[in-house]
Amino acid sequence: MHAILLNTHNLLRWVVLALGVLALLKAYQGISGDRPYADARRTGLFFTAALHTQLLLGLVLFVTSPFIKTAMSDMKATMGDAATRVFVAEHPTVMVIAVVLMTIGGIVAKNAANDAARHRKALVFIAITMVMILWGIPWQRPLFPGMG
């Protein structure tokens, strides 16, 4: 069960990143090309939905993972070991903040005065969210399930 969850969490990272890049492109095109917001908003919503799914999977992993259970059983040692601490502290924290930020960003962009402002605000929120996600992904783990 843990392997299925972890592999899904691993793969969904690529869906999140692809949708994030697409959402960034649409927001950028929107600013420079005077395009209506509706299409970019749809892509932004798919990106947010993928993030919410990843958040849910991450939370389930956090409470069920044998690796996290072992790490939590000796927090003193875990906090002193960067390789383990990243999964108990940094990774979940950065990712939760990124997901909340993108969720708020979608609302802020939607409520802006006009489509140009909506694209601009969306671009800023998506860009910050993407930087946080890229920073928060544990790249030391396999790039795809079963690798490494």
Return residues touching ligand HEM (CB under 6 A). 6, 9-10, 13, 16, 51, 54-55, 58-59, 61-62, 65, 67-68, 87, 91-92, 95-96, 133, 137-138, 141-142
The nearer residue to ligand HEM, 27 or 65, going by C-beta atoms, is 65
Q: Measuring CA to CA, how many Å separate 54 from each of 99, 102, 139?
A: 9, 13, 16
Shortest distance in whole angstroms from residue 107 CB to ligand HEM: 19
Q: How many CB atoms lie within 10 A of CB 111?
A: 10
The CA angle 125-94-109, to the nearest 5 degrees, is 15
Among 74, 77, 65, 81, smallest CA distance to 3 is for 65
State the minimum distance, in angstroms, from the CB of residue 62 to ligand HEM.
4
Nearer to ligand HEM, 21 or 32 (CB): 21
Residue closer to ligand HEM, measured from CB, 36 or 142: 142
